[in-house]
């Protein structure tokens, strides 16, 4: 831990907060969030990162390289058109807080936002540890797999004991209207759509509701765009918790 203060002493930088618009001028059909680091899910749901990224240029390569060699990430490069999810291998991230640089531990974060696209940090993810959140609107989705060590099953060979592992799929609904996250189930989606009586009455007439529910989720998003400033009754039509 003695290396971290040393890093900050290497490079005293005045930083500008890099903030993204939540709807970009060039594509009003898609939601873009503010770039930065989320420490809690509430910060994501309210589009309010706890920290922002440092504004670095190509001329800062020595600074970035010195941080990288000490396990500190200074810049995140992500392109979902090439790869949806990606890895952060460094143990620490350097961020901006009130115009000053600060180093935080990777394992302490909830997620990040890069170029307007949010990612959930999953320490025990089966593959990449930063999972893109598919922001489609008020009803959005997050899916990933987590690897757990199973303490009840062990396989033995001549020289050692090897633990067994199991994968668990996490499939969630991101509710930007009620500011919460739930299991992705038909019942939970129905409770969200029920907030719109016009849509819900028509949904009840559908004969194949399991197929229709996601079509109505799209319709709900079209009728109820994300509004980060609006307040809602937290006890009204809340779906089941995860």
For 170-200, the pLDDT digits (tens) are: 999 999 999 999 999 999 999 999 999 999 9
Task: Judge whether 177 lies within some domain.
Answer: no
For residue 62, pLDDT over 70 is answered with yes
Does 201 reside within a domain?
Answer: no
Residue 99 resides in a domain: yes
Domain assignment present for residue 156? The answer is no
What is 169-217 written as a DSSP string?
EEEEEEETTTTEEEE--HHHHHHHHTTSHHHHHHHHT-S-HHHHHHHHH
- Domain contains 154: no
Count of domains forming the chain: 1
Rounded CA-CA distance 93/37 in Å is 9
In a domain, 60, yes or no: yes
Q: Does the predicted TM-score (pTM) go above 0.75?
A: yes
Is residue 37 included in any domain, yes or no? yes
Tell whether 218 is covered by a domain: no
Q: Is residue 213 within 8 Å of residue 188, measured between CB atoms? A: no
User: Which DSSP category does 229 fall into?
Assistant: T
Average pLDDT over all residues of the chain: 80
DSSP string, 43-74: HHHTT--SBB-----GGGHHHHHHHHTTTEE-
Residues recorded for the chain: 242
Q: Crossing angle, helix 3-10 and helix 61-68, to 10 degrees?
A: 180
- pLDDT higher for 195 or 163? 195
Domain containing 22 equals: 1-117
CA distance 69 to 7: 11
């Amino acid at each position: 831990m003695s290396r971290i203060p040393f890093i900050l002493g290497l490079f005293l930088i005045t930083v500008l907060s890099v903030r993204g618009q939540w709807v970009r001028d060039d594509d009003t059909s898609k939601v873009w969030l503010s770039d930065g680091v989320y420490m809690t899910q509430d910060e994501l749901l309210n589009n309010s990162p706890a920290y922002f990224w440092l504004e670095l240029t190509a001329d800062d390569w020595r600074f970035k390289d010195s941080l990288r060699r000490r396990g500190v990430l200074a810049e995140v490069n992500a392109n979902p058109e090439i790869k949806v999810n990606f890895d952060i291998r460094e143990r620490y991230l350097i961020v901006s807080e009130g115009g000053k640089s600060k180093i935080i531990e990777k394992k302490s974060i909830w997620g990040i936002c890069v170029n307007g696209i949010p990612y959930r940090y999953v320490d025990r993810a089966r593959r990449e540890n930063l999972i893109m959140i598919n922001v489609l609107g008020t009803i959005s989705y997050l899916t990933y797999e987590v690897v757990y060590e199973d303490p009840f099953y062990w396989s033995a060979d001549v020289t050692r004991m090897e633990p067994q592992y199991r994968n668990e799929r996490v499939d969630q609904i991101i509710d930007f209207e009620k500011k919460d996250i739930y299991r992705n189930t038909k019942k939970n989606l129905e409770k969200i759509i029920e907030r719109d009586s016009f849509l819900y009455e028509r949904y009840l007439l559908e004969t194949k509701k399991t197929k229709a529910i996601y079509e109505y989720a799209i319709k709900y998003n079209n009728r109820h765009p994300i509004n980060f400033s609006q307040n809602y009754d937290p006890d009204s039509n809340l779906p089941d918790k995860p």
